[in-house]
Structure 1
Amino acid sequence: MAYDPGAIDATLAAAVGDEPALIAELRFAFVEGAERALTAMTLAKDAAEWSAATARLRGLAASFGALRLMALATAAGEGRAHDPDTLKSLRRAVSRL
């Protein structure tokens, strides 16, 4: 699944119109939220906390139209908690936002 750098901006523009400053602010808030979810995944003490953090990331990604990130978060929730390859993939996806 390829990364579409315009998908998030298109989703935001559809929601708020042609307001570049607001789009930039919302994009920043989205990236910050994704980074917080990744931190929560990293710090999760058990599978339940891991699952909750992946669900937050998945929901956040879905609400912003970040389909690749949503798919990765879904796979993380179905996989082994604290899997280093999963975390690496998620970090890479968030860094590309």
Structure 2
Amino acid sequence: MAYDPGAIDAALAAAVGDEPGLIAELRLAFVESAERALASLETATTRDDWREAASRLKGLAASFGAVRLMALAGQAADSPRDPATLAKLRRSVARL
């Protein structure tokens, strides 16, 4: 799954304008939130916990314009806990 590093920055710039410091701060907040959502997925013990964590990651990705991460998290929310899906999500979050 390819990652477009400009997509998130473009979405942030559209929201806050040409404010590089604010864009960097918001990007860091997004990455940290994505990592927390991923950690919730990794520790999910029930199907409902898995679905909730995946949905949280999907919403977060959508709010920052991370379309590919959003799609992958949406697929995860609609499927049972799967190590392969979790590995894909880890790689996607690591690329942020």
User: TM-score normalised to the size of structure 1?
Assistant: 0.95
Counterpart code for 1:51: R
Counterpart code for 2:42: T
Structure 1 residue 13, shift from structure 2 partner: 0.3
In the other structure, the counterpart of 1:60 is 60
Equivalent residues, number: 96
In the other structure, the counterpart of 2:18 is 18
> CA offsets per residue over residues 14-53 of structure 1, 9 Å max, x none?
0111110110010000000000001001111200011000
SS of residue paired to 2:18? coil
SS of residue paired to 1:33? helix
1:91 aligns with 2:70: no
CA RMSD across the alignment: 0.9
1:37 aligns with 2:27: no
> CA offsets per residue over residues 51-74 of structure 1, 9 Å max, x none?
000010000000000000001001
In structure 2, runs of 5+ residues without a counterpart are none
Mean Cα displacement is larger for which, 2-11 or 57-66?
2-11
Counterpart code for 1:75: Q
